[in-house]
Amino acid sequence: MNLEMTHNNNIIEVKNLVKKFDDFIANDNLSFEVKKGEIFGFLGANGAGKTTAIKILCGISYPTSGEIKIDGLDVYKDREKIKKRIGYMSQKFSLYDDLTIIENIRFYAGIYGMSRLEIKKRSVELLERLNLTHAKDRLISDIPLGWKQKLAFSVAVFHNPAIVFLDEPTGGVDPVTRRQFWELIYESALKGITVFVTTHYMDEAEYCDRVSIMVDGRIEALDTPELLKEKYNSIDINEVFLKLARVS
């Protein structure tokens, strides 16, 4: 692995990240690290700048200034290398409605350069794990939202990335399905995949190892959920968030 990584356990390192759209500052001097293998929650209200930041980390948007390293690689210089090591799931789930479940899996695995044999082997495993073997030839447009969401996540980590970015992955899904979804996230984390997840559901923060709370483009707090609650003398993260939002 990278030399730097051997004595440094951070998979994401962000220093003084600024992103401006004309006069509007979407990300105001963000600095944070994400440790290898952790589930990192990126919290904030809608419009706080979460999606902007995640796009920069994924390499589909350029920062105005700042230093960003993903898995020891610079986002400016090593974009192509980084792309192979990350997975991404957007708010919209990004599956093709007119393709079947298995076709979607094959397509995404294919663009990550996986071999046909590997795809075959692992897609059987995946379908089994998700209990979707019987439905593998159904079109995405015909399956329930909860399935889509699970599938979208599984597709995002199918190529075994070092880190997966989830942008509001639980939007519009009922609490039971959300709970099941978080189980999937835990499974991946156990396998050593770092999870970077944005959400505006404060209760989900409790599932994360560490959370950062963004308000108006700035990170106002960053710690484990327990320490945050302690520090802000709150019973849950929701209260922490409200206190932070009110101050600023």
Partner 1 sequence: MKRLIGFIRKEIYHIFRDYRTLIILFGIPVAQILIFGFVVTNDLRDVKIAVLDQSKDEVTTAIMDKIISSGYFVLEEELQSIDQIDPAFRTGNIKEVIIFESNFAEKLEKNGQADLKIIADASDANTGNLIANYTQGIILNYLNEMYKNIQIPYTINKYERFFYNPNLKAVYMFIPGTMALILILISTLMTSISITKEKELGTMETLLVSPLQPWHIIIGKVMPYIFLAFSNAVIILILGYFVFGVPINGSIILLLVSSILYVSLALSLGIFISTLSDSQLTAMFISMLALMLPTMVLSGFIFPIENMPKIIQWLTAIMPARWFISILKQIMIKGSGILFIWKELVILTSMTVLFIVLSIKRFKIRLE
Give the residues lining the site for partner 1 (CB under 8 A).
55, 58-62, 80, 83-84, 86, 88-99, 103, 106-108, 110-113, 165
CB of 241 to partner 1, least distance (A): 27
Nearer to partner 1, 79 or 200 (CB): 79
DSSP track, the chain: --HHHHT--EEEEEEEEEEEETTEEEEEEEEEEEETT-EEEEEE-TTSSHHHHHHHHHTSS--SEEEEEETTEETTT-HHHHHHHEEEE-TT----TTSBHHHHHHHHHHHTT--HHHHHHHHHHHHHHTT-GGGTTSBGGGS-HHHHHHHHHHHHTTT--SEEEEESTTTT--HHHHHHHHHHHHHHHHTT-EEEEEES-GGGGGGSSEEEEEETTEEEEEE-HHHHHHHTT-SSHHHHHHHHHHH-
Nearer to partner 1, 59 or 225 (CB): 59
Nearer to partner 1, 93 or 241 (CB): 93
CB of 182 to partner 1, least distance (A): 21
Measured CA to CA, the distance from residue 27 to residue 20 in angstroms comes to 7
Tally of CB atoms within 10 A around 125: 9
CB of 248 to partner 1, least distance (A): 26
Whether 92 contacts 25, CB under 8 Å: no
Nearer to partner 1, 164 or 215 (CB): 164
CB of 144 to partner 1, least distance (A): 18
CB of 176 to partner 1, least distance (A): 25
Nearer to partner 1, 105 or 228 (CB): 105
Distances in whole angstroms, Cα of residue 177 to Cα of each of 120, 133, 183: 27, 19, 10
Nearer to partner 1, 95 or 228 (CB): 95
CB of 94 to partner 1, least distance (A): 4
Nearer to partner 1, 158 or 241 (CB): 158
CB of 167 to partner 1, least distance (A): 9
